[in-house]
Amino acid sequence: MFLSLLASPTEAQTNKGIKWTSGLTWEQVKQKAKSENKYIFLDCYTTWCGPCKMMDMQVYPNDSVGNYFNDRFISLKVQMDKTKKDDEEVQKWYATAEAMIADYKIEGYPSFVFLSPEGVLVHKDIGFKTSDSLVAIARIATIPGRVYDDGYAEYDRLLEEYNKGNKNHNKYPFMINMALKHSDQQTAVKLLKELTDSVSLLPPKERYKKEIIQLWSLFTLRTDRPVFSFFYNDGKLIDEVMNQKGFSESIVDKSIQGTIVTPFLMEQAKGSGVVMSGMYISGPGLKTDSSEADWKQLEKMLCEKFNADVTRRNLLSAKVEWYKRHQNYPAAVKYALERLNNFTPDLRSPVEVLNINNDAFTAFIHSTDQKLLLGYIKWMEKLVKAYPERYTAIDTYANLLYKAGKKKEAIRWQEKAVKMAPGDAVISKALEDMRAGKPTHVEEGVVWK
């Protein structure tokens, strides 16, 4: 990963918004900041980053942003990736770039780095910001005497003490999180094992603390290890600590899927050309593969280790995954609905809400089974009641109603979706088609009778 410090002539000469500095070495920039008593603002971005481009289009050209920054900062655009289009000026910064990545701990994009006139880090932030938010952050950075603590100095000190044999288990959660930020998986796993060994000696009521549970949940747990048994055997207690019903169940399932189900499905699909891990493959020209896995074998593998509910739940999840990967969507939504009906999800979970909506819309696209459509309508009814502001869910609900023959009700809900998202041409087109009595989303390949 590389970084370049350069603004194009067009950017540097613009009369609106932030005036970007270019053509100086890093030492010259720091000298300029010191002599002019100005702070330094680094916009750290990549050429592929969508939010970074939004900052360029919507925020940096803003007059209020320019007025604040131009009076107080020397501002520089910081490109974090290396491309074939990098010119000679950009390439001159490669060595300095690598040092900056380490010095300022750049972890995501866009990142905003603020330095004092003396070149001392005073603030950092990350992610898209509105004009007002960016100015507010800059105000924080320029508070006189501000000292920025990102935790890295403390982590380095604790790690040095740890290596000397001075171990403070109370500091382990902080150290593990910092090790993960450093991408030091080895240290993180080592510390987590020591912490787990320590708390395992405690009674369950004392063992489970929120920050430790959160650390465990970051990993796909091996089902033959003690931590997995914590979630499997003490799930109710852990859910109480996390104040989230089904939290333990989700960790149990993630671990079973990751360590047992996925390897099984990969072996079953070997030689077929169907990829059973990583990103889903979609698009025109893909054909349904109706091949089956040996479900009886997988069921036997699961029931030998887990109770009936866990076995059935994970078997259903395995089937959904298999059929989606094989473009067999009618089968995938059938088993996804069976899982929903038998193992009620927590509608407070953003992931569950997204999955329900996606499966429901997939059912709308690929199925003409009236019973199945009505089954998903029931779940989307719950979803739009719980999240009345989600116009995407309302759109899915309306299209399912329409396909199931409930046209008047469908049009009423689709009108709500259009009112909430007047600029969405796809949703507006669906409403027009409903009013005209035409099939909706035909261009997306929806199967109609």
Q: What's the pLDDT score for residue 31?
A: 95
Contact call for residues 159 and 144 (beta carbons, < 8 A) = no
Q: What pLDDT is attached to residue 151? A: 74
- 42: pLDDT strictly greater than 50: yes
Which pLDDT value is given to residue 283? Answer: 63
Going by their DSSP bridges, the two strands 73-79 and 39-45 should be labelled as parallel
**pLDDT at position 101:** 79
Q: Answer whether residue 143 shows pLDDT above 60.
A: yes
Within 10 A of 346 (CB to CB), how many other CB atoms are there? Answer: 15
Say how many C-beta atoms besides its own lie within 10 A of residue 71's C-beta.
Answer: 8
Span 329-339, average pLDDT: 97
**C-alpha 190: how far from its chain's center?**
26
Question: Which candidate, 256, 339, 246, places its Cα nearest to that of 305?
Answer: 256
Among 306-320, 342-356, 392-406, the minimum mean pLDDT is found in 342-356
Beta pairing partners, 77: 43
- Measured CA to CA, the distance from residue 444 to residue 435 in angstroms comes to 19
- Percent of the chain exceeding pLDDT 70 equals 96
Give residue 5's pLDDT: 44
Checking if the pLDDT of 152 tops 60, the result is yes
Q: Look up tokens 């009369």; give the residue.
A: 15
Inter-residue contact 111 to 124 (CB < 8 Å): yes
Does position 344 have pLDDT exceeding 60, yes or no? yes
pLDDT tens digits along 257-300: 999 999 999 999 999 989 888 877 766 667 889 999 999 999 99
Q: Rounded to an integer, what distance in angstroms lies between the CA atom of residue 167 and that of residue 169?
A: 6
Q: Can you tell me which residue has the tokens 């924080």?
A: 140
- Which of the listed ranges 163-177, 180-194, 321-335 does the model predict with the highest average pLDDT? 321-335
Spatial CB neighbours of 201, under 8 Å, sequence gap ≥ 6:
none
Residue 115 near residue 148 (C-beta atoms within 8 A): no
How many residues are given for the chain?
A: 449
pLDDT band at 118 (very low <50, low <70, confident <90, very high): very high
Indicate the SS3 state at residue 291: coil
